[in-house]
Amino acid sequence: MGNVHLICGALGAGKTTYAVALAKQVQGICLSTDQWMATLFHPDRPASHGFEWALDRMLRIEQQMWHVAEPLLARGVPVVFDSGLPRSEDRDRWRWRALEIGGTPKLHYLDVDIEIRRSRVRKRNEERGPTFAFEISDAMFDYMEGYFEAPTDDELYEAMVVG
């Protein structure tokens, strides 16, 4: 069974860049929630969608990502999940899912200062480079900043912390 790498960090921490590099390093596959969201749902999103609209679709994406990952993991292919995992309950759910299927979960936490992250998000919005999936407004950044729960010391036991 392949290793399951779970990438965690607030907006602008560099999760996608890190996940792509990690997948290359471990000769695995990277599955990015933002890319799936941008492709599957953003073109059809209502003008006045809220966080609940996005959260519902993110849970559907999570199910499909695991559907893709499980046969790869069974063949020994490492999988890197670029999903952010903003809350403790999210990280628990993903860790338990990995364990249920016989995988070995490894948390990678990107701990980056808020002003650096805000600057990165603004730059990404302007440049629309390879890690751009959709625009993040300042209001959305601020909302998600309040939603994000940094991992506890217990969660970070044996985790990879990148600063």
CATH code, residues 3-162: 3.40.50.300
Q: Is residue 7 classed as helix, strand or coil in its secondary structure?
A: strand
Residue 41 has what pLDDT?
76
Q: Average pLDDT of 92-113?
A: 96
Question: What are the angstrom distances between the C-alpha of 84 and each of 47, 51, 74, 76, 87?
Answer: 24, 15, 24, 24, 9
**Mean pLDDT score of the chain:** 91
Minimum mean pLDDT range among 27-36, 46-55, 68-77, 126-135? 46-55
Q: Pick the residue with more confidence: 49 or 107?
A: 107
Contact indicator for 84, 12 with CB cutoff of 8 Å:
no
Kindly tell me the number of DSSP H helices and DSSP E strands found in the chain. 6, 5
Residue 43 has what pLDDT?
67
Distance CA 81, CA 104 (A): 13
Per-residue pLDDT tens over the stretch 114-133: 999 999 999 988 998 888 77
Indicate whether 57 pLDDT > 90.
no
Q: At 139, is the pLDDT very low, low, confident or very high (cuts 50, 70, 90)? A: confident
